[in-house]
Chains A and B, each alone.
Chain A
Amino acid sequence: MTLFSQAFRPVGSAKVDPVLIALWVSLILLALIWITPFVFIVFTALKSNATVMGASAFMPPTELAFENFAAAWWRGNFSTTAFNGVVITVIKVPLGLFISAMAAYALAKVPMRMNKALFALFLFGTMLPFQVMLAPIFRQVNAFGLINTYPGIILPYLAFGIPYQVFILYCFFSAVPKELSEAARIDGASHFTIFRRIFLPISLPVLSALLILDFVATWNEFAMALVILQDPKMWTLPLGLMSFQSQFSSDYGELNAATIMTVLPAAIVYLMFQRYFVAGLTSGAVKE
Chain B
Amino acid sequence: MASVDISGVKKAYGAVAVMHGVDIPIRDGEFVILVGPSGCGKSTLLRMVAGLETVTGGEIAIDGRRVNDLEPKDRDIAMVFQNYALYPQMTVAQNMGFALELAGRSKAEIKAEVEKAAEILSLTALLDRKPAQLSGGQRQRVAMGRAIVRHPKVFLFDEPLSNLDAKLRVKMRAEIKALHQRLKSTIIYVTHDQIEAMTMADKIVVMKDGRVEQIGTPLELYDNPANLFVATFMGSPAMNILPAIVQDATVLVAGVATLPIVAEAAPGTKIAYGIRPDEIAIDPASPVKAEVIVVEPTGSETHVTARLAEHEITLVSKARLTLAPGDAIGLSFSPDKHQLFDAATGNRLAAAG
Instruction: Using CB atoms and an 8 Å cutoff, list the residues of chain A in contact with chain B.
Output: 177, 179-180, 182-189, 193, 197-198, 201-202, 280-287
Decide if A202 touches B89 in the complex (CB within 8 Å): yes
> Which residues of B sit under 8 angstroms from A281, Cβ to Cβ?
88-89
A186 contact from B77, B84, B86, B89, Cβ within 8 A = B77
Question: How many Å from the CB of B158 to the closest CB on chain A?
Answer: 9
Residue in B closest to A182 when the chains form the complex, CB atoms: B52
Decide if B85 touches A177 in the complex (CB within 8 Å): yes
> Which residues of B sit under 8 angstroms from A284, Cβ to Cβ?
86, 88, 130-134, 139
Question: How many Å from the CB of A84 to the closest CB on chain B?
Answer: 36
B61 at the interface (CB under 8 A from A): no
> Which residues of B sit under 8 angstroms from A287, Cβ to Cβ?
83-84, 136, 139, 163
Decide if A282 touches B139 in the complex (CB within 8 Å): no
Additional 7 contacts, C-beta under 8 A, given A188-B99, A287-B136: A179-B83, A182-B52, A183-B79, A185-B73, A197-B98, A285-B87, A285-B88
Given that A283-B132, A284-B131, A284-B134 are contacting pairs, would A186 and B87 also be in contact in the complex, using a CB cutoff of 8 Å? no
Interface residue count on the B side (C-beta < 8 Å):
32
Question: How many Å from the CB of A71 to the closest CB on chain B?
Answer: 48
> Which residues of A sit under 8 angstroms from B84, Cβ to Cβ?
286-287
Per the bound structure, the CA–CA distance linking A188 and B71 in Å amounts to 9
Per the bound structure, the CA–CA distance linking A183 and B72 in Å amounts to 10
Decide if B102 touches A183 in the complex (CB within 8 Å): no
Residue in A closest to B50 when the chains form the complex, CB atoms: A186
Per the bound structure, the CA–CA distance linking A198 and B77 in Å amounts to 21
Q: A-facing mask of B284-305, CB < 8 A → 1, else 0? A: 0000000000000000000000
Decide if B83 touches A177 in the complex (CB within 8 Å): yes
Decide if A180 touches B50 in the complex (CB within 8 Å): no
Per the bound structure, the CA–CA distance linking A35 and B23 in Å amounts to 72
> Which residues of B sit under 8 angstroms from A285, Cβ to Cβ?
85-88, 131
Q: 30 A-B Cβ contacts within 8 A?
A: A179-B83, A180-B85, A182-B50, A182-B79, A182-B85, A183-B79, A183-B85, A184-B87, A185-B71, A185-B72, A185-B73, A186-B52, A186-B79, A187-B98, A187-B99, A188-B73, A188-B103, A189-B98, A197-B87, A202-B88, A280-B132, A284-B86, A284-B130, A284-B131, A284-B132, A284-B134, A285-B88, A286-B83, A286-B85, A287-B163
> Which residues of B sit under 8 angstroms from A186, Cβ to Cβ?
50-52, 72-73, 77-79, 99
Given that A188-B102, A280-B132, A284-B139 are contacting pairs, would A182 and B81 also be in contact in the complex, using a CB cutoff of 8 Å? yes
> Which residues of A sit under 8 angstroms from B133, Cβ to Cβ?
284
Decide if A198 touches B163 in the complex (CB within 8 Å): no
Per the bound structure, the CA–CA distance linking A286 and B72 in Å amounts to 21
Decide if B99 touches A179 in the complex (CB within 8 Å): no
Ranked nearest first, the 5 interchain pairs of A and B with the lowest CB-CB distance are: A284-B132, A286-B83, A179-B85, A285-B88, A284-B131
Per the bound structure, the CA–CA distance linking A168 and B102 in Å amounts to 30
> Which residues of B sit under 8 angstroms from A202, Cβ to Cβ?
88-89
Most buried by B among A183, A188, A284: A183
Given that A182-B52, A285-B131 are contacting pairs, would A201 and B89 also be in contact in the complex, using a CB cutoff of 8 Å? yes
Question: How many Å from the CB of B221 to the closest CB on chain A?
Answer: 30
> Which residues of A sit under 8 angstroms from B136, Cβ to Cβ?
287
> Which residues of B sit under 8 angstroms from A183, Cβ to Cβ?
79, 81, 85-87, 146
Most buried by B among A187, A193, A202, A285: A187
Most buried by B among A177, A193, A280, A284: A284
Docked complex: B118-151 residues within 8 A CB-CB of A: 130-134, 136, 139, 146, 150
Per the bound structure, the CA–CA distance linking A281 and B79 in Å amounts to 24
Per the bound structure, the CA–CA distance linking A189 and B71 in Å amounts to 11
Q: A-facing mask of B55-80, CB < 8 A → 1, else 0? A: 00000000000000001110001110
> Which residues of B sit under 8 angstroms from A180, Cβ to Cβ?
85, 87
Decide if A184 touches B98 in the complex (CB within 8 Å): yes
> Which residues of A sit under 8 angstroms from B98, Cβ to Cβ?
184, 187, 189, 197
Per the bound structure, the CA–CA distance linking A240 and B159 in Å amounts to 64
Question: How many Å from the CB of A193 to the closest CB on chain B?
Answer: 7
Residue in B closest to A189 when the chains form the complex, CB atoms: B102
Question: How many Å from the CB of B67 to the closest CB on chain A?
Answer: 13
Per the bound structure, the CA–CA distance linking A284 and B129 in Å amounts to 11
Per the bound structure, the CA–CA distance linking A197 and B101 in Å amounts to 12
Decide if B81 touches A179 in the complex (CB within 8 Å): yes
> Which residues of B sit under 8 angstroms from A197, Cβ to Cβ?
87, 98
Most buried by A among B50, B71, B81, B85: B85
Decide if B88 touches A282 in the complex (CB within 8 Å): yes
Question: How many Å from the CB of A111 to the closest CB on chain B?
Answer: 10
Question: How many Å from the CB of B168 to the closest CB on chain A?
Answer: 12
> Which residues of B sit under 8 angstroms from A193, Cβ to Cβ?
102
